[in-house]
Amino acid sequence: MGLRHVSRQSFNQRETMMTKALIFSALAAAAVALASPAAAATITPVGAQATSTFTHYNQYKAENLINGSGMVGDLHDAGYANMWMTDLGVDAATLTFDLGGLYKLEGLKVWNYNFGVQEYASTLDRAANAFTLAISTDGVTYTDILADTFARGTGQLLASETFGLSGAARFVRLNLTGNHQSDPATYGYSPVGLSEVRFEGSAVPEPATWAMMIIGFGAAGSMIRTARRQNAFSAA
């Protein structure tokens, strides 16, 4: 009777200790989760792919949209080698951006195609015009969330245009459905292009963070079960 009493008391003390440990780890995990959603920041995609690219000397590649090429502070220059554009005669394309992680998106920031100075002014026809934007968490299922138009480039140092977005995504598709060419009959169909793309938003806690929290809870639960088993054994 006496032994059982001591053992029960010991078990209760251990369980109280373990419960405290569990509550502490839960609070710590909650603190991590609460601290994680940072203020909205500029997101530079880690990948950019285009359904069409003019392969001329590898100068018009989609990577030029995310590598900071041609950026002068927050403006984009007029150097064609710092931009992306479709193959000749292709005036529509889809760009797919990988943000490298899950983000709560708040904005799209675009610098339009901007090569067109003096005798080459007609090349500003390549600037993207109407577009739709779709987001995805898995890169498979996309949801359209925006349809709008971009202003024509200037051939001078160009400021970005910003569009409000709302939704969680890792992947973003920008579907460009036309350019600023007004008279295709004169020059033939122009390609369509952009200079640089960024997003605005805040990171959603990484799966690794959630995994750590789950492992933490699991470990605490395991400690309690072990303590219970040990007490059950010593009480027998």
SS3 95: strand
SS3 180: coil
Taking the alpha carbons at both ends of the chain, their separation in whole angstroms is 11
Look at residues 53, 72, 52, 57 and name the one whose alpha carbon lies nearest to residue 196. Answer: 72
Q: What are the beta bridge partners of residue 149?
A: 130
Question: Minimum CB separation from Ca ion for residue 45, in Å?
Answer: 12
125 binds Ca ion per the rule CB under 5 A = no
Question: Minimum CB separation from Ca ion for residue 116, in Å?
Answer: 15
Question: Minimum CB separation from Ca ion for residue 78, in Å?
Answer: 11
Residue with tokens 């806690």: 205
Indicate the residue among 53 and 64 with the shorter CB distance to Ca ion. 64
7 burial class (0-12, 13-18, 19+ CB within 10 angstroms)? middle
Contact at 8 Å (CB) between 98 and 70? no
Question: Minimum CB separation from Ca ion for residue 76, in Å?
Answer: 6
70 binds Ca ion per the rule CB under 5 A = yes
112 binds Ca ion per the rule CB under 5 A = no
Indicate the residue among 53 and 69 with the shorter CB distance to Ca ion. 69
Please give the Cα distance from 4 to 7 (Å, whole number).
5
> Site residues for Ca ion, window 144-203 (CB under 5 A)?
195-196
Contacts of 77 (CB under 8 A, 6+ apart): 70, 71, 114, 157, 158
Question: Minimum CB separation from Ca ion for residue 101, in Å?
Answer: 22
Indicate the residue among 91 and 196 with the shorter CB distance to Ca ion. 196
Indicate the residue among 179 and 195 with the shorter CB distance to Ca ion. 195
Please give the Cα distance from 46 to 31 (Å, whole number).
29
> Site residues for Ca ion, window 47-66 (CB under 5 A)?
64
Indicate the residue among 194 and 204 with the shorter CB distance to Ca ion. 194
Question: Minimum CB separation from Ca ion for residue 65, in Å?
Answer: 6
Specify the DSSP element, H or E, that contains 133: strand 130-136
> Site residues for Ca ion, window 74-103 (CB under 5 A)?
82
69 binds Ca ion per the rule CB under 5 A = yes
Indicate the residue among 6 and 46 with the shorter CB distance to Ca ion. 46
Residues lying near Ca ion in the complex (CB under 5 A) = 64, 69-70, 82, 195-196
